[in-house]
Amino acid sequence: MNIPNTNITLDDLLDQMPIGIHYVDKDGFLRYQNKLAASRPAQGRREVGVNIQDCHAQSESLESIKRIFGDFKRGRKEPHFYVTQSGIKAVKVPIYDTEGNFIGILSYGHSVCPTTTSRTF
């Protein structure tokens, strides 16, 4: 899909973001990842089409994913925010269709750098 009035596709735009972006459908299958997300090392297989439960080797990580999916399937609208053990600030945003049915999770994250200070522009 091209961005209107440009030669840029949505993939091109998302690939330039300095954050890893994933979209996982309501059944737990990875349906999209930008280049940065695909380039990060993973403990398990992480390619489009794989069930994300196969990507989470640690039981506490798998339980967290199940809890997040459960919250969103029950209608939670607020994102989940957390920092992973590998130092990634992660956000899981529920995605709903126009009728309000949960259809998946948009996930994005970036490395935490403790030596930098945040600035507001």
Contact assessment for residue 81 and residue 91, using Cβ atoms and an 8 Å cutoff: yes
Higher per-residue confidence, 114 vs 67: 67
- Band (pLDDT 50/70/90 cuts) for residue 121 is very low
Instruction: Kindly state the average pLDDT of the residues 112-118.
Output: 53
CATH 3.30.450.20 at 10-111, yes or no? yes
pLDDT tens string 28-72: 999 999 998 888 766 555 789 999 887 766 777 788 889 999 999
Q: Where in the chain are the domains?
A: 10-111
| Distance from C-alpha of 62 to C-alpha of 93, rounded to nearest angstrom | 17
Task: Give the pLDDT score at 97.
Answer: 97
| Distance from C-alpha of 116 to C-alpha of 118, rounded to nearest angstrom | 7
Task: Give the pLDDT score at 43.
Answer: 54
Residue type at 113 in one-letter notation: C
Q: Which residues are CB-neighbours of 32 under 8 A, at least 6 positions away?
A: 21, 22, 23, 48
To the question of pTM greater than 0.95 for the whole model, the response is no
